Chain A
């Protein structure tokens, strides 16, 4: 069990550029979540995958955001035409998703700074 890993740890980009983040969940976990955390706030839910299916998206997820989990393993989160308001920590979490095990494990996050 190597935990949830996210790449990159930090990303600095100019406004208008596209960025992509990657998340590798714990290997046997079929559920994968993306959250966003801004300074001084708790994480906010963005989207959720059960295996490769994206089953829920928050209204926070504008059209510029897209997430994929093509083979039900790793996931990517892409932000197009970044804006300064997108600056935040993007956290990925995974869980086994069984009825008796609802523990979500988080990665260390990707800190995005949009200049």
Chain B
């Protein structure tokens, strides 16, 4: 079945690293995504990783994928107050539809 879980809340100090975790149950997913949502706004695609990769780095963002444990993480280096938002992981199945199954989101609060 399809189920994506995230912890609800993370608080960090400005300048520290943040690590947001996600677990999923369906090993047939093709892509795994991280989206950011600010209050009252839509979802902004941050990064995504193909399921046969272990790691992807994009500026301050590092995505780690442990396919054996079905665990995905997003590390934000040098976290800024502007990073405060809800972060969603999602799994996609590629192919004809590539509909995404989203987690419940993690609220990241960055303290100055």
C-alpha spacing A83/B67, complex, angstroms:
41
Chain A residues within 8 Å of B62, by CB:
none
Contacts known (A103-B45, A104-B45); A45 close to B100, Cβ less than 8 A: yes
Chain B residues within 8 Å of A93, by CB:
43
Query: In chain A, residues 58-115, which have Cβ atoms closer than 8 Å to a Cβ of chain B?
Result: 91, 93, 95, 97, 102-109, 111
1/0 per residue, CB under 8 A from A, across B77-107: the answer is: 0000000000010101010111111111100
The answer to whether A109 and B42 have CB atoms under 8 Å apart is yes
CB distance from B91 to the nearest CB of A (A): 11
C-alpha spacing A45/B42, complex, angstroms:
15
Contacts known (A40-B104, A42-B4, A108-B42); A102 close to B97, Cβ less than 8 A: no
The answer to whether B42 and A42 have CB atoms under 8 Å apart is no
A31 touches B (CB below 8 Å): yes
CB distance from A99 to the nearest CB of B (A): 8
How many residues in B have their beta carbons less than 8 Å from beta carbons of A? 26
CB distance from A78 to the nearest CB of B (A): 20
Name B41's contact: one of A44, A55, A108 (CB within 8 Å): A108
Chain B residues within 8 Å of A102, by CB:
30-31, 48, 92, 94, 98
The answer to whether B43 and A55 have CB atoms under 8 Å apart is no
A51 touches B (CB below 8 Å): no
Chain A residues within 8 Å of B30, by CB:
102
Contacts known (A42-B88, A45-B99); A106 close to B104, Cβ less than 8 A: no
1/0 per residue, CB under 8 A from A, across B24-47: the answer is: 000000110101000011111100
The interface of chain A, by Cβ under 8 A from chain B, is 4, 6, 31, 33, 35, 40-45, 48, 50, 55-56, 91, 93, 95, 97, 102-109, 111
The interface of chain B, by Cβ under 8 A from chain A, is 4, 30-31, 33, 35, 40-45, 48, 88, 90, 92, 94, 96-105
